[in-house]
């Protein structure tokens, strides 16, 4: 036990401070704590936590998202937690979702990947005049 060099496993955590704003494609190799503003395409290998004054707008893919501030856009994650001060607006593809009293979810929850949903929206513009084009009815 003594005399052996043991390496401690540390988890990378990135902190975006309040007042800081980042726009563009962002990738986190570990977890991230967001107190400022992020816009664009964001990926994280682990958890992202949005603080009460923090905000993310765009497309996000991560293991777990905890929202105490604002998320607006398209989300793909394993687990979503919206706290009492959190707001999520947009399309969400998650295996589990937990919303605390006071938390707000405005949008749609889908089982498919968010990218698939986006492709379907552009391919299937629901024009009322063309909704049933190509549909054949058969009598039994």
Please tell me the predicted confidence (pLDDT) of residue 1.
Answer: 45
| Paired sense of beta strands 37-44 and 55-67, if any | parallel
Please tell me the predicted confidence (pLDDT) of residue 113.
Answer: 57
CA angle at 28 for the pair 93 and 110, rounded to the nearest 5°:
5
Please tell me the predicted confidence (pLDDT) of residue 63.
Answer: 95
Mean pLDDT of all residues in 109-126: 53
The 10s digit of each residue's pLDDT in 45-77 is: 999 999 999 999 999 999 999 999 999 999 999
Please tell me the predicted confidence (pLDDT) of residue 110.
Answer: 86
Q: Cα–Cα distance between 18 and 92 in angstroms, integer?
A: 25
41, two tokens: 């395409």
43, two tokens: 């990926």
56, two tokens: 């993310």
Task: With a cut of 60, say whether residue 7 has pLDDT above it.
Answer: no
DSSP assignment of 40-74, as one string?
EEEEESSEEEE-TT-EEEEEEEEEEEEESSEEEEE
Please tell me the predicted confidence (pLDDT) of residue 12.
Answer: 81
Which H helix or E strand runs over 117? helix 114-123
Name the pTM for this structure.
Answer: 0.73
Mean pLDDT of all residues in 100-120: 74
Most confident of the ranges 2-6, 8-12, 52-56, 118-122: 52-56
Q: Cα–Cα distance between 47 and 70 in angstroms, integer?
A: 16
Rounded to the nearest 5°, which phi and psi values hold at 122? -75, -35
Please tell me the predicted confidence (pLDDT) of residue 123.
Answer: 45
Q: Confidence class of residue 10 from pLDDT cuts 50, 70 and 90? A: low
Rounded to the nearest 5°, which phi and psi values hold at 54? -90, 160
């Amino acid at each position: 036990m003594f005399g052996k060099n043991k390496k401690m496993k540390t988890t990378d955590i990135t902190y975006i401070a309040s007042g800081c704003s980042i726009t563009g494609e962002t990738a986190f190799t570990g977890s991230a704590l967001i107190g400022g503003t992020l816009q664009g395409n964001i990926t994280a290998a682990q958890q992202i936590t949005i603080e009460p004054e923090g905000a993310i707008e765009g497309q996000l893919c991560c293991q777990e998202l905890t929202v105490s501030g604002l998320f607006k856009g398209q989300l793909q994650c394993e687990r979503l937690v919206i706290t009492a001060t959190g707001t999520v607006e947009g399309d969400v593809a998650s295996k589990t979702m937990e919303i605390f009293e006071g938390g707000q979810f405005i949008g749609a929850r889908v089982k498919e990947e968010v990218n698939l949903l986006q492709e379907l929206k552009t391919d299937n513009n629901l024009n009322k005049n063309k909704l049933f084009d190509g549909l054949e009815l058969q009598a039994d």
